[in-house]
Structure 1
Amino acid sequence: MRLYFLRHSAALDGPDDALRPLSPEGRQQARKLARFLKRGGISFDLAFTSPLVRARETLDLVLPITNAAAPIKPQVTSALLNETSATQFANWLARLPQTAGHVLLVGHEPTLSERVRRLLGLLNEEALELRKGAIACVRTENLRSGSLKFLVTPKLLGAGRTPP
């Protein structure tokens, strides 16, 4: 199974964190990433997003491009919120169908990077950080450990700056 950990793209500031939409730059980042994934032949069997607006909007921009030939229905889950513990996330992950080959997970910092580092066995917090709009692909056989296949940022794709 390949897990694709996608941090939501750049969002506008706002008084209600859960309702912050993507900025125009963030929308551009998401579309550019989606085109990159499509050129690489990547489409998803399952897609999950946090309930926060900026994560849902990121997914809504990526999925129609990557899965144009084989549309899927994305699912909203609280497992991708920062408030979800590592144990809760691991339990949720273990319930994914083992037949899924490519699973997209759209979420937030700092927990998204923590999930990737845990799967890779990285103890140093500075060893890996997902910038806004970045994606990390981790190949895993047992959902407890894995290997990093790639890490791509908007900056690498020429989609503008990558704010922290």
Structure 2
Amino acid sequence: MRVYLVRHGKAQRPEEAAGDDVRALVGLGQTQARWLGASIARMIERDGAAAKPVVVSSSPIVRARQTAEIIADELKVTIELSGKLSTACGLTELFEELDYRVRQAHELGGAVMLVGHNPTMEDAGARLLGKTGLSMGTGEALVIELPGDWAGEVGAGRLVAHLVMER
């Protein structure tokens, strides 16, 4: 089972927006999201239909939602918003969402994509891979392969790629 953990693209600074939840992507963030979408599309072409996300599950926070929309448009998939991926939530909620999406993807024969925020994206990647000190910048994605019988085990994942756009 392929899992894509995506951190939103570069966004406005806090002082440039009316609040943290409405910070929008800046030009670089939009470029990062387009690059991620194109990079993941190439991976799907290479690896087959099972590598394509069934749905893109995103935090409802503007910068994450915008990132998800750009990627989903490139991949021709729908997005669904999940409060369990918002900045107010932690690993417990993220793993509830991941578990739900893994079951959904098993039924539909595809992959899982979650779009959200740090520190939960980094922490989730570290937990799935059984690593410490994992770092994810804005507009980056971890591509992780989980065993077909994955049931939440720490360290069960294998890193396929860490997608980082060159600047």
Structure 1 length as normaliser, TM-score?
A: 0.83
Query: 1:44 Cα shift?
Result: 1.8
CA distance in 1: counterparts of 2:39 and 2:99, whole angstroms: 29
Which consecutive unaligned segments of at least 5 residues does structure 1 have?
Answer: none
What do you get for the CA RMSD once the two structures are aligned?
Answer: 1.6
Aligned partner of 2:162 among 142, 151, 162: 151
Query: 1:129 Cα shift?
Result: 0.9
Aligned partner of 1:107 among 113, 116, 123: 116
Question: How many percent identity over aligned positions?
Answer: 28
Partner of 1:52: 61
Aligned partner of 1:43 among 49, 52, 71: 52
Query: 1:12 Cα shift?
Result: 1.2
Q: Aligned pairs, how many? A: 149
Whether the 8 Å CA contact 2:94–2:120 is kept in 1: the answer is no
The letter of the residue matching 2:157 is G
List 4+ stretches of structure 1 deviating above 3 A. none
Q: Determine which structure has the larger helix proportion and give its number.
A: 2
Cα deviation, 1:71-100, whole Å, max 9, x if unaligned, reads x32110011123323233323322232334
The letter of the residue matching 1:118 is R
Q: Which moved more, 1:41-50 or 1:87-96?
A: 87-96
Which consecutive unaligned segments of at least 5 residues does structure 2 have?
Answer: 46-50
Distance 1:95 1:38, change over 3 A: closer
Query: 1:105 Cα shift?
Result: 0.7
Structure 1 residue 76 corresponds to structure 2 residue 81: yes
